Structure 1
């Protein structure tokens, strides 16, 4: 189960077009995990963490300096965020047990998660997508379809929840209002306050790595921002699609990203190596980073162990702790990135109450998502 859990934690959330911004909230309840909080809540803007809560600290805290400035106009913001997360923690503790009963699960590691948020295009001012999804053990459980304003239940075990929520018209209206109005307005404010961080660009360190002479050569880029980037091998100026293995974009502990792409060279003569090069492209940056395949610059497995393994392990561990909440949410979001129709098969939560509405109008700061509705 540990391998399965780690693989889920490292699922990446890919960025969209350069003008697209996203606001996502993730609530994750877990059981069977030792030395790990049973509940974690994270808010993210453009894949940058802005708020964090877990059942150990029992306190919502800002993760960016500009979030502190953002909430100066509302001194009670963090108190409300903490109270909201405390309520979600208790309800989702019940929900994970309910889900285990419905799927006839007993021992082992189990994860129940809510992901909610929206995407907005700052050029067209169009709300591209809203989503409210629940998942159990890495699979979709139930989700809200904005087009039909109904709940989708891909699992038989979620049908009773779907019928209950479809019948609650007030909750449906409030959910739709949150996703189409409140969430986008909050996102616009976040982007305004955090523009210096969210709109920055950072180029990576690109290295060529190889475990052994017979292993593929790995082109590894780390430290770039934002995550709207591509990394590929080309030969004689043409991008290669065969004998290459693309890795996912992963989070670094400092908010930047890393990715890699492997090239198999088992059938390539040494004299032809000079025809290959690795290319890194970052959205918004005109010049690419090109690294020619040269045995002299390849770092061997021994060098990698000395210089990179320790730091990479720390990065992965810290990222896992910070974004456990991305385990199921990342999985669901990633599948939708693959979908041509962003509204198709939108999945949602097991037992959510409607997201909180701002009592003071659109000028007030918006809280995270309230998932405090029980399944049964």
Structure 2
């Protein structure tokens, strides 16, 4: 049976607006904007950031469970609210896999501040950031600010959840009431042997996590829901070697790991917190590794502990490598194509699926080195994210 929840949104011109959300089993079925006459005074902050900025709404229509007519948050809530408040905005609905890339590559603004609302998951935001104009001369003086607001409409929503943006309606209400503050956030660049680069802000992984995301892309998992992750995980545990060799900056000798990740956010899902000491707004990566010597039940227990971790927990020890890194470094995959399967070279970077074998200099011997750089001045734009004020 579905349940309906009414969430107050704002009051203006003698009307009080609210969003009625209908959901079943944590899945939203519909968003409906309703209003009643009220004697309550206007409570929208028209001196707030929203009213002095250009506004872009980027709706990744295939993210999460996709969009239905009743569940279209952009058409049913955002657009009529902006019309009521006489706010001009530009809405972009993804029409093809490269829609976000093309938007970012041609992104120009003459406004002092542009707010971009993402109705998407993490990968869409990553695609946008990775394709923005670069070549900055350095410093923030004179730059236009591009302020992102991630509304959680993806599958994992790691960034939004870690920023305490848990409900799209509440986040939108906070935007209208100027209860969100723009804050700069860290970015990191991974550079591979063939000079290919990718910027990330959530996770860079090799081993079990990357294997899982790669395997779930196979067509045989297409018609499955969240159970595909359980089935794929068990297949990996049963059939993959899960014994990968790394040189890492904090150890003088190689380490053997079943799971390796560089993580910037505490959460990877709403209830899954594998890196409880991470802070998405702090320029610091946590290296998380689970030892290859762990028996399968013990490895599974370490992975599943992410559902129990509390903010600030130190999870290091007992087969778990957990260390903070705060400056540029490199890692090296020591496995070779001659001795290992292709899965040993699977990489996941904020949802982008790569393989180290395809990131080599043509004709050169295999090189497992990956350089990680902490970026201080990434774009021609001053990039910020909106987070709750308190």
TM-score (norm 2): 0.25
Q: TM-score, normalised by structure 1?
A: 0.26
Compare relative contact order (CA 8 Å, sep 6+) and give the higher one, 1 or 2.
Answer: 1
